[in-house]
Structure 1
Amino acid sequence: MRKIAVLLLAAAGVSLAGAASAADLGTAPIYRKAPPVQVFTWTGGYIGGYIGGAFGANDVVTGVPVDGAGLPIFAGAPASYGYGSSVIGGYTSGYNYQFAPNWVIGYEGETGYIGLKGSSAYAGSATSIATTRAEGLYSVWAARFGYAFDRSLIYVKGGAALVDFETGVSNGTPGTHIDTMHTKYRLGYAIGGGWEYAFDNKWSVKAEYLYMGFDNNITTTGNLNGNGGTQVWTTTSLPGIHTAKVGLNYKFDMLGYVLGIVR
């Protein structure tokens, strides 16, 4: 009996020791692999809006109206006048691709409102007024190339600009009425650069300078003394336009968006 009791006590001790070991194992720390750190990228499509200002690079010059033979309608020098300044505002859209590993390329389009205008009387005819307006919607299509410092992007951009100009000469004097005012679109170039900062994975702010150049003249025609009168024409030399703006952009996964539509 005594041997049986000793064996039972030994077996109980072994069971308790095993239970204690199992309990210790159960409270041991469990190590899990840390989730990967998300690295910010500029790759993706974006949309946004902006507001800023614009002013002419130099004066507009409108020549004295001439007839079909090239003779001036009145004596005097060409009219030279400034654009003044304008508030601009509109929206942008585009796409960025980041590579190797800090360079960013992409394209951007913007459409907005501009309201530059100016006019001047001719020295040789105080009643003849030369007027030019860059007023209404304008558009820019440009490529972007930049270098990213994590969430900061410094970039240059260049492309084409389309602006609606109204220009010409008007004269309300009885007997010498002139009106060559016409609206014409002009395609020019756009070049500039800026800085953009992503304060969130989706949202970014930017500050940008852009110059729009128009290396061509606009010739408008009209009639002297009504529709049955002599045809006259004027030529206006357009200056470039400086713009500066700040904007807010929202970035999205364009590929995921397209695949979602396909599904």
Structure 2
Amino acid sequence: MKKFALSVAALALSAAGAFAADLPSRKAEPYLPPPPPPPMWTGFYAGLNAGYGFGTNSNTQSIGVGYLPYTGHYWGEGEGLFDASSTLGAGLALSGVGNNSNQNGFIGGGQVGYNYQWGPSFVIGIEADIQGTGIRGSSRTVGVGGDSSLAAYDNEDSDHYTLINSSAAGTTSVHAGVDWMGTVRGRLGYLFTPTMLVYATGGLTYGGVYANVNNYAVASTDIVHYNGDWSGSQGAFSHTFVGGGNKSSTLVGWNVGGGLEWMFMPNWSLKAEAIYWNMGNMTLPTVALAAAPEGCGDYCGPSGSPATAYGATRVNYQGVIARAGVNYHFNWFAPAPVVAKY
């Protein structure tokens, strides 16, 4: 009986093995790595920025010339016009170079742009920004000048001449700055990691600038009349010049710089960058007037026209922006991820 039971068990095991061998088999699929992530940098973005602007050129340049129209007479023999640039001294006193006008201040605004990720490591794009600024600066020059002008005394005695000597001291104050500024720049970046981009940037800078100039000078004038072998001086008299000018304009220049941008979570990035910008120069005219003084003696009297010192001031606008910003990446046109098939 025991032998019979063992024989039945062995037969059953043999039949089960044969049945299992006849079942269809599925070979193991080869291992497929996960697909690479889609380029996360491709697409439009927009954001905000804030920082500080540092001026890199402290110079303002002012030049001036003068004109002093007076009517004169020579001991009652007739009156004429001293038509001479005898206030050149005042013009020179209002000339000079200011060296402390670095324009510094806070800036803040927004930016928009588009990136295209080229392969796993490179990003190219374009960005435009605009911001208001508190970039301001001032300078002050102190100058002296002198001049001697020989003017014909225009009356019936053509042999009468007048020598006008002038000396002056003055100051020119310049206040200048940038009210707003924008850039349009290309960007070329390299991905050290999939989320960390280092980039170079450069392009166009434009902005609204202004300058205000205040002139002040005191001139001392001495008039000497020549008539053959005779000469005489009435003595020096003084007059004060006050004036200036102001101007606003929109300038266009260039920029170059670089920065870092970190995609710290999906669709969001932080950036820090430094950009050198240069919008060139703006020149504004200035006028300083001085009323003709009374009581300058027998040799001259007011002509009814004020003494004038004409000038021009040139201001340079350039600097470095250091700022940080945040961007939201829309990724509207980013490639869809690839789904693996098994």
Which TM class, normalised by the smaller chain length? 0.7 to 0.9
Which secondary structure state, in structure 2, belongs to the residue aligned with residue 176 of structure 1? Answer: strand
* Equivalent pair of 1:40/1:201 in contact (CA under 8 Å): no
CA distance in 2, matches of 1:172, 1:123: 10
Identity of aligned residues (%): 29
Partner in structure 1 of residue 281 of structure 2: 217
Match of 1:139 in 2: 182
Higher relative contact order (CA 8 A, sep 6+): 2
- Paired position in structure 2 for 1:27: none
Question: How far is 1:244 from its partner?
Answer: 0.6
Partner of 2:249: 184
Task: From the superposition, tell whether residues 78 and 34 of structure 1 become closer, same or farther in structure 2 (CA, over 3 Å).
Answer: closer
Query: Which structure has greater helix proportion?
Result: 1
Correspondence for 1:42: 41
Q: Is residue 2:113 matched to residue 1:94?
A: yes
Unpaired segments ≥5 residues, structure 1: 1-32, 257-263
Q: Scaled by the length of structure 2, what TM-score is found? A: 0.58
Of 238, 249, 252 in structure 1, the residue corresponding to residue 330 of structure 2 is 252
Give 1:158 shift.
0.3
Q: Distance in 1 between matches of 2:267 and 2:133?
A: 29
The two structures, once aligned, show a CA RMSD in angstroms of 3.1
CA distance in 1, matches of 2:288, 2:216: 11
Q: TM-score, with normalisation over the residues of structure 1?
A: 0.73
Alignment check: 8 A CA contact 1:62 1:130 kept: no
Q: 2:208 aligns to what?
A: 164
Aligned partners of 1:169 and 1:234 also within 8 Å: no
1:180–1:233: 8 Å Cα contact kept in structure 2?
no
Per-residue Cα deviation, 1:193-221 (whole angstroms, up to 9, x for no partner): 0000101120000110101013x322112
Letter in 1 for 2:195: R
Cα gap change, 1:231 to 1:255, in 2 (>3 Å): farther
Spell out the pairing of 1:11-90 with structure 2 (5 A cutoff): 38-66=37-65, 73-75=91-93, 76-83=95-102, 85-90=104-109
AA at the equivalent of 1:137 = W
Cα deviation, residue 80, structure 1: 2.1
Measured in 2, the distance between the counterparts of 1:164 and 1:67 equals 31
Change (3 A) 1:199 1:46: same
The more displaced of 93-102 and 76-85 is 76-85
1:161-192 deviation line (CA, Å, top 9, x unaligned): 11222124223679523222101111111110
Greater share of residues in strand:
2
C-alpha distance in 1 between matches for 2:215 and 2:96 = 16
Which segment drifts farther, 54-63 or 148-157?
Answer: 54-63
Distance between the aligned counterparts of 2:270 and 2:107, measured in 1? 17
Asked if structure 1 preserves the Cα contact closer than 8 Å seen for 2:200 and 2:259, the reply is yes
